[in-house]
Amino acid sequence: MSTPDKQLFPGETALITARGLKKSYGRTEALRGASLDLHAGEILAVTGTSGSGKSTLLHCLAGIVRPDEGVVTYGSEQLDRASEERLGELRRSDFGVVFQFGQLVPELTALDNVALPLLLSGIRRGPANEQAGEWLERFGIRGQADLRPGEMSGGQSQRVALARALVTGPKAVFADEPTGALDSLAGEQVMTALVHAARESATAVLLITHDARTAAYADREVWLRDGAVHSGAASVTAQEVARHEG
């Protein structure tokens, strides 16, 4: 079993921990005892080759799938034993998830897509739209509020997906290859927006990527090999992050 690298956060209790995660799909072992700590306010990049289990690890940590073995905790809660109802509540409030292709609702406008998590949490339409509009403004796409996903560029759609993931003020955002379908310029814009928003709200970000340029935005990098997590060095200094945001 791999051991998480805690050197950057001495004495701090992790926001989310995973210990000894195993997950198989048929005869394919995606995770083979993976362990990981994600701390509040940290941007952590998980890298690895295609098929190394990166997305499976994210799905286990976000409560989307349950590991076959091992423990995932969020604060005092053990997510691998939580009810589907509770996991759904967490993904509407405490967790935000961003996928490679955004997975926006194609029939809804950008504004409606961002407001959707708020509406599902019981917030009325007026306040939900106001908050959604503020997040579109923060990501520089307020002008696309009335456009549907098919009418936007890939970079614009991905920023809408980021706004949707952050609009509820989550404690953690899980981003699965958020720049994988974008060109280098759009990818840089998306990562700059994500880092800036996460820093402002002290949101933890688990970033799954195979791209070294994307991983360079993280505070810390680990890599997944043979279904286990191996520690890496910190990717960037605070000054370098500030340059990315500027």
pLDDT by residue (tens digit) across 34-74? 999 999 999 999 998 888 899 999 999 999 999 999 999 99
CATH number of domain containing 63: 3.40.50.300
Read off the pLDDT band of 181 (50, 70, 90): confident
225 close to 52: Cβ distance less than 8 angstroms: yes
Residue 189's pLDDT is: 86
141 close to 104: Cβ distance less than 8 angstroms: no
46 close to 229: Cβ distance less than 8 angstroms: yes
Mean pLDDT to the nearest integer, 133-139: 92
In the block, which residue shows the tokens 């799954």? 208
How many other CB atoms sit within 10 Å of the CB of residue 107? 10
179 φ/ψ sector (left φ>0, alpha ψ -120 to 50, else beta)? alpha
In the block, which residue shows the tokens 């995973």? 18
> Quick check: is 171 in a domain?
yes
Please list, in sequence order, all residues whose beta carbon lies within 8 angstroms of the beta carbon of residue 106, skipping any fewer than 6 positions away.
148, 149, 150
Neighbouring-strand partners of residue 72: 18
167 close to 139: Cβ distance less than 8 angstroms: no
Read off the pLDDT band of 108 (50, 70, 90): very high
Domain coverage including residue 102: 16-107+165-245
> Quick check: is 175 in a domain?
yes
Domain count, the chain: 1
Mean pLDDT to the nearest integer, 196-219: 92
CA–CA gap between residue 178 and residue 137 (Å, rounded):
20
Mean pLDDT to the nearest integer, 186-203: 89
> Quick check: is 79 in a domain?
yes
**Mean pLDDT value across the chain:** 87
- Prediction pTM value: 0.85
> Quick check: is 113 in a domain?
no
